[in-house]
Structure 1
Amino acid sequence: MQTEMNKVLAGLAEFYAHETFLLEKDLGERALTHRLAVHLEKQFSGWDVDCDYDKLGERTLRLPHGTIVSTDDHLGKSVYPDIVVHQRAIPNNLLAIEVRKASNHQPPEHDQHKLRALTDPHLWFAYWIGVFLVLGKNSVVSDVYAGGVIDKPMSGWFSERLKEIGLG
């Protein structure tokens, strides 16, 4: 898992090195996620990197009934992750990322529940890793999810690596 998370770190470092304009001008979350995905794509050779991807092979991504995360995208609370690293045709789901701006004062629970569900190993489409990123102008706050829960050791390791590259 550290190998994949090192790629996320490299993508974040590139994002912060080249996209300061977006952060300084407080552009919207979708602009940030798109540009972050561009930088992540360089790190994940052989994988597809997509934003708001709503398919799993030929099927539309839907969580089981009874989950608190809506599958109705018209409400703006879709189950679709902000960024995914996957193989579209198989499907093979490596990484789901939820991004928030530090200036977003809405509660983070929706994104956190989404990552718990998307990494739940009991679901046929589970992503191996989930990452929750809060992007500030000069720093990143994060949690890493695996197996449907926050992976505290990996979250701590990732937080320390963020500090080492000047984003902690």
Structure 2
Amino acid sequence: MRKRIKYLFLCIVTIGLLVGCTNSSKEQNVESFIRKLVSYDTYKDISSLEESGRFIEDCKSIFGEYITDDAFDLLMANRIFTRYSSVISEASAVTDINFTKTSETENDGYIHFEYEVSYKLELNGETVDMKDYMAFNVLDEKGYKIEKVSISDKTSSIFKAF
């Protein structure tokens, strides 16, 4: 009887650890995507927006490891990469990148994360405080890749700044 209880306890702990590690890895992927999206280094060598075909290829090679093809297509259609590229490439630096996970919800088949992302842009000798609000869906069956990215156009600084 004690052996069964110990065995069941061990199974429950193991499953709990596996689920926790999986969520942690998905969360790390989301946070790596955020760092890459708002980093000055991401855009300093990227093709210009005038070369749209090459710009798309560059974005795909930079962000493809974090998001699915559907998420990439949606971000391109909504001009998210274009917006970040045009704003951040005007800056001389991006500093103090911080993000806070404000919500995590497990749903059937995916995990929903929400983040508040703050950073500072150095523009013409001035520092501009930026704050963006992002939401992500990471599907369980797609490993760690992000299936959906939403950035609030009403409250995010990237859409109001310039």
Query: TM-score normalized by structure 1?
Result: 0.28
Higher helix share: 2
Pair member with larger Rg: 2
Structure with more contact order per residue of length (Cα contacts < 8 Å, sep ≥ 6): 2
Query: TM-score normalized by structure 2?
Result: 0.28
Higher strand share: 2
